[in-house]
Amino acid sequence: MATKGDFGRIYFPGNPWPKGHQIVECCWSGRIERSTGVWFDFHIVSEAFDAADKGRRFPDEDDNLGPTESRALWCNHHHMILSTTNWPGLAYGFHAGSREEPFDYRKLSGRVFQVDNPPISEGYPRPLAVYRWGHEHVAYSAVAFKKESGSKTFSISWSGQVGGFSHGSPDFPYQFNMKLKKVAFAGIHLPVHVERSDAFALAEPYVRDSRKYKFLRRKNDAVLIPQ
């Protein structure tokens, strides 16, 4: 479940709000796929695109504005959601640990993940799903993690491009940049009925020092939390 708060900002170069939009929901977690290892999931939601404009009046727009410049277009779609979990079957996240290179939480700070760069193919599922001007594709992501001083949380710098495919070729003309802060890792999620011993056995090939994680069983799942 996404946590609500102030998690930084997202910027869309050239849109009517150069100061960006606050990120109001952010959940970052992991999961294990038996054949491939650890995968990261994200669910990120921005405030309304026009949240900073409440109470202000704006003149009618010039019909010659490009789509990125059109305030009406942005407002018509309300806000941004970038998620691997919100729309089942559309996205599968990105790879964070394998047998050859196990996930190491203690060495995550400083790592940069290249996601869907370059885009592999058209259609779904894809690594990431996004709603911006309706449902679109997102690709060419670079996701950089940095541990925040004196805290268990991370800042995350995330750049990417939004678009789709034209005649089977990638066409992603719209850039975005996110500067996330105070993002906590929600742990590695497992099926709710998994036994403790099986959870560690499943994690061990793909997670460095997995036996040092804390095992918790909750209402809808089980989870391994790094200590």
pTM for this predicted structure = 0.93
Q: Rounded distance, CA 125 to CA 14, Å?
A: 29
Give me the residue spans of the domains in the chain: 3-225
User: Mind listing the pLDDT tens digit for each residue in 88-129?
Assistant: 999 999 999 999 999 999 999 999 999 999 997 788 899 999
What the block records as the tokens of 17 is 């709000």
User: Mind listing the pLDDT tens digit for each residue in 40-97?
Assistant: 999 999 999 999 887 677 666 666 777 888 888 899 999 999 999 999 999 999 999 9
Q: How many CA atoms lie within 13 A of 164 on its CB side?
A: 10
> Exposed, middle or buried: residue 17 (CB in 10 Å: 0-12, 13-18, 19+)?
middle
Residue 58 is predicted with a pLDDT of 63
What the block records as the tokens of 35 is 């054949």
